[in-house]
Amino acid sequence: MKNLKVFHGIKQNIIKLFTLCALASFLAVSSLHAQGVKKEVVKFEEGKFSTIIENSLKGEQTVDYTVNVKKGQSLNVSMDTDNTANYFNIMEPEEEYVAIFNGSVDENMFEGELEETGDYTIRVYLMRSVARQNEKANYKLEIIVSNPGQED
């Protein structure tokens, strides 16, 4: 009987934990959508495998650029900006939040061979401290994909 009570208590705790995780995920997604994440697909001119995007954002705005890359290709992304709190992160295909690169830690310059085929997300944002102050950032994002003929 005692074991049954312990099992019931563990089961209730697991249900509570699952509910809290689901709620936290919902709130995180809702927060990003409330901020109005702008999504843009990166397209290269025919025969070219690099592009420069000049844009700006203000406050809590976020821009997600998606670039389709094959496994084994190299991706090089760098950003020049007029705001020292303006950064970018890179997420693997199908990933919403976990970054393989964080510009606020690694100085807005990424170069690496990619491990998956698909649409990588380059998320450009302002740090929360300046976003709350509604600051603006003008940036230039350079994206280069090398080994364009690489197959899976």
CATH of the domain at 44: 2.60.120.380
Alpha carbon 66 to its chain centroid, in Å, reads: 9
Question: With pLDDT > 90 as the criterion, what percentage of the chain qualifies?
Answer: 66
**Within this chain, do residues 73 and 138 fall inside the same structural domain, yes or no?**
yes
**Within this chain, do residues 55 and 124 fall inside the same structural domain, yes or no?**
yes
* Residue-range definition of the domain harbouring residue 81: 37-146
Q: Which two tokens stand for residue 8?
A: 């019931």
pLDDT at 17: 42
DSSP sequence for 33-99: HHHTEEEEE--PPTT--EEEEEEEEETT-EEEEEEEE-TT-EEEEEEEES-TTEEEEEE-TT-SS-E
Tens digits of residue pLDDT in 35-63 = 579 999 999 988 899 999 999 999 999 99
**Within this chain, do residues 100 and 129 fall inside the same structural domain, yes or no?**
yes
Total number of domains constituting the chain: 2
Least confident of 11-20, 95-104, 108-117, 141-150: 11-20
Neighbours of 73 (CB within 10 A): 18
**Within this chain, do residues 72 and 120 fall inside the same structural domain, yes or no?**
yes
CA-CA-CA-CA torsion sign (10, 13, 19, 25) = negative
Average pLDDT, the chain: 83
Q: Which of 69, 75, 78, 68 is nearest to 142 (CA)?
A: 78
The pTM for the full model equals 0.74
The stretch 63-79 carries a mean pLDDT of 96
Amino acid in position 150: Q
Residue 152 lies in a domain: no
**Within this chain, do residues 110 and 136 fall inside the same structural domain, yes or no?**
yes
User: How does residue 105 score in pLDDT terms, banded at 50, 70 and 90?
Assistant: very high
**Within this chain, do residues 117 and 65 fall inside the same structural domain, yes or no?**
yes
**Within this chain, do residues 22 and 78 fall inside the same structural domain, yes or no?**
no
Distance in angstroms (rounded) separating the CA atoms of residues 34 and 104: 23
**Within this chain, do residues 57 and 118 fall inside the same structural domain, yes or no?**
yes
Tens digits of residue pLDDT in 8-40 = 556 555 555 444 434 344 444 434 444 579 999
**Within this chain, do residues 9 and 45 fall inside the same structural domain, yes or no?**
no
Residues paired with 44 in a beta bridge? none
> Is 45 or 122 the better-scoring residue by pLDDT?
122
* Statement: residue 145 has pLDDT above 60: yes
